[in-house]
């Protein structure tokens, strides 16, 4: 795959990096990344993936732009209020870099369509805002054998991890899954959404940018992967914390006695709290 003269100039700061260079930039150009959610996390993530020259970027989102989104979802503009988020994001990305291909998946991921969509891409980045979709995306990535870079934010804190349980860790066990981190699907209301709890707008910008960095690292194969590690950020204290994640032999997806062997709707039902 040959870079055009415009691309050579555009990616000049990548090309002079020994760890990237021409081969790495060509790998980015040949890569396909799916981003789940064009909201607070997806906004900076999509911008940086497009700017980096990822060849094909898919966007999954079924929502439209609202004025309350604009405090943090910087890929959208006031003029895009009422427009599908996938379309608004696509327009911004192509304005930034016309060399990328952007696929709009203007829909909600379900157990019926997740595997077919995710299988089209090399790496998946999840920035959705609800637990049923996070569990669904994680399970689908396992069955499709795709690496998942997942981020989440609270009011003033964020977390980031890479999941690739279809591969083995150095000790011979599978890398942990999202289910090794969270266990069972939390009951509805246990973790309030940002429209209820609030979120400082710059926070998803920080976490989404870091998510883009981890996606790029996975595609090029540089640095140390976040697989098996959970990175947490406390914005008020301006501190990062890291903890190790380990595969759990009793988890229902990749444990010794897996009970989840396919994507079925009952595994992702959003149960109300008691």
Sign of the CA dihedral with 164 first, then 168, 169, and 175 last: positive
CATH of 19-262, one of 3.90.470.20, 3.40.50.1110, 3.40.50.720, 3.40.30.10: 3.40.50.720
Sign of the CA dihedral with 8 first, then 94, 117, and 69 last: positive
Q: What is the DSSP string of 180-196?
A: HHH-SPPPBTSS--HHH
d(CA 62, CA 55): 23
d(CA 34, CA 54): 11
- Is pLDDT larger for residue 58 or for residue 183? 58
- Looking at residue 189, its pLDDT comes to 61
- Looking at residue 272, its pLDDT comes to 46
d(CA 61, CA 39): 9
- Looking at residue 269, its pLDDT comes to 78
Digit-coded pLDDT (tens) for 207-233? 999 999 999 999 999 999 999 999 999
Single out the residue of 76, 54, 58 nearest to residue 67, CA to CA: 76
Q: What is the mean pLDDT of residues 144-167?
A: 96
Rg (CA), the chain: 18
- Please report where in the chains the tokens 């760890």 appear, as a residue: 19
Return the structure tokens found at 184. Answer: 């069972």
Sign of the CA dihedral with 195 first, then 36, 134, and 150 last: negative
Single out the residue of 141, 152, 116 nearest to residue 41, CA to CA: 152
Poorest-pLDDT segment among 22-31, 39-48, 81-90, 261-270: 261-270
Mean model confidence pLDDT for the chain: 94
d(CA 111, CA 269): 11
Q: How many CA atoms lie within 13 A of 115 on its CB side?
A: 13
- Looking at residue 184, its pLDDT comes to 82
């Amino acid at each position: 795959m040959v870079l055009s003269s415009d691309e050579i100039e555009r990616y000049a700061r990548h090309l002079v990096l020994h760890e990237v260079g021409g081969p790495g930039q060509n790998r980015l150009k040949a890569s396909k990344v799916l981003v789940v959610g064009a909201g607070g996390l997806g906004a900076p993530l999509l911008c940086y993936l497009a700017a980096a020259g990822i060849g094909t970027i898919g966007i999954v989102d079924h929502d439209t732009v609202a004025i309350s989104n604009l405090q943090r979802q910087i890929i959208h503009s006031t003029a895009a209020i009422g427009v599908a988020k996938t379309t608004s994001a696509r327009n911004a990305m192509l304005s930034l870099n016309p060399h990328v291909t952007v696929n709009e998946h203007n829909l909600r991921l379900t157990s019926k369509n997740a595997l077919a969509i995710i299988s089209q891409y090399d790496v998946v980045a999840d920035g959705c805002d609800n637990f049923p979709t996070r569990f669904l995306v994680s399970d689908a990535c396992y069955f499709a054998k795709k690496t998942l870079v997942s981020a989440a934010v609270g009011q003033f804190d964020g977390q980031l991890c890479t999941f690739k349980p279809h591969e083995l860790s150095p000790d011979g066990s599978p890398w942990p899954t999202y289910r090794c981190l969270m266990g069972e699907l939390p009951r509805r209301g246990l973790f309030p959404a940002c429209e209820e709890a609030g979120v400082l707008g710059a926070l998803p910008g920080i976490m989404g940018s870091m998510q883009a960095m981890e996606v790029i690292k996975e595609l090029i194969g540089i640095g140390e992967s976040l697989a098996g590690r959970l990175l947490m950020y406390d914005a008020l204290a301006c501190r990062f914390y890291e903890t190790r994640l380990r595969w759990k032999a009793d988890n229902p997806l990749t444990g010794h006695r897996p009970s989840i062997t396919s994507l079925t709707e009952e595994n992702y039902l959003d149960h109300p709290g008691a």
